[in-house]
Amino acid sequence: MATKQDVKVLGWSASPFVARVRIALNLKGIEYEFLNEDLGRKSDLLLKSNPVYKKVPVLIHGEKPVCESLLIVQYIDEVWAASGLPILPADAYDRAVARFWAAYIDDKLPNQAPVLLGEADEPTKAEATQHMFAALQQLEEVFEKCSEGKSFFGGNTIGYVDITLGSYLGWMKAMEKIAGIKLLDEEKIPQLVKWAERFCSSDAVKEVIPQVDQFVEFSKVLQAAFKAAASPSN
């Protein structure tokens, strides 16, 4: 059995990508040590563990690093297959569908973050908001189809798509406050709004995603992180 020292997560509490890893570990009941990174000054451990991207999250399991949030989630699901419930479905086609929608979410949502969590003029914010709405509208339909009347995209329990989308909920609530927009609108996306409440209050998630005020405090750091990520020298 993995001891707390065997499993470390290098991360930063306001990152949705880090949240994914912590949620997956919680779902599997795995204890881990959380090493908080200072984004302004990356640790030697981070630079050594993720020399290619120099980014969080990194999972270090028995001293071997695993990088890229969705790859880490799949790793956790495979290594601790006997613990907790499966994160990805067993069936090949269902698995492909889950991977497709996770890739869609990562394709559509994070691009809007630098605008909606930062400073931008009204037309730019309006365009980013439109893109977010379009994606969320699509995901409302996906939820209806995938959940088959159950609580999560994954069915009765949190699955891969739930983790991928749910990890952005902190940012989405922060976007609502910072940009003054309503994303989680009960009238437009009623099922997703209810899903979001269920997700955020579940045991595996509730301690992981910070409160909105913390995100707003973090927004200046986030803006710097976005600018750094956008620069080609990274």
Partner 1 sequence: MAIENEVKLIGIWSSGFVTRVMIALNLKGVEYEFLPEDLSSKSELLLKSNPVYKQVPVLIHGGKSVCESLVIVQYIDQVWASSGPCILPADPYDRASVRFWAAYVHDKLTSQIRVLILKEDEKSKAEAEEQLFTALLLLEEAFVKCSKGKSFFGGDSIDLVDITLGSCINWLKAMEIITGTKFLDKTKTPRLAEWAERFCSAEAAKEVLPEAEKLVEYIKFLRAGNRAAAVSSSK
Q: Which residues bind partner 1 (CB under 8 A)?
A: 52, 61, 64, 66-68, 71-72, 74-75, 78-79, 92-93, 95-96, 99-100, 103-104, 138, 232
- The answer to whether the CB of 232 falls within 8 A of the CB of 191 is no
- The answer to whether the CB of 233 falls within 8 A of the CB of 36 is no
In terms of CB distance, is 53 or 207 closer to partner 1? 53
- Cα gap 100→108, rounded to integer Å: 12
The minimum distance between CB 67 and partner 1, in angstroms, equals 6
In terms of CB distance, is 1 or 92 closer to partner 1? 92
The minimum distance between CB 16 and partner 1, in angstroms, equals 18
In terms of CB distance, is 68 or 185 closer to partner 1? 68
The minimum distance between CB 104 and partner 1, in angstroms, equals 6
The minimum distance between CB 211 and partner 1, in angstroms, equals 32
In terms of CB distance, is 109 or 205 closer to partner 1? 109
Q: Which of 172, 108, 176, 97 is nearest to 138 (CA)?
A: 108
The minimum distance between CB 124 and partner 1, in angstroms, equals 20
- The answer to whether the CB of 160 falls within 8 A of the CB of 103 is no
In terms of CB distance, is 139 or 179 closer to partner 1? 139
Secondary structure (DSSP) of 93-127? HHHHHHHHHHHHHHHHSGGGHHHHTS---HHHHHH
CA neighbours closer than 13 Å in the CB half-sphere of residue 53: 11
Tokens 């993720």, residue?
50
* Close Cβ partners of 229 (under 8 Å, ≥ 6 residues apart): 55
The minimum distance between CB 31 and partner 1, in angstroms, equals 19
In terms of CB distance, is 138 or 223 closer to partner 1? 138
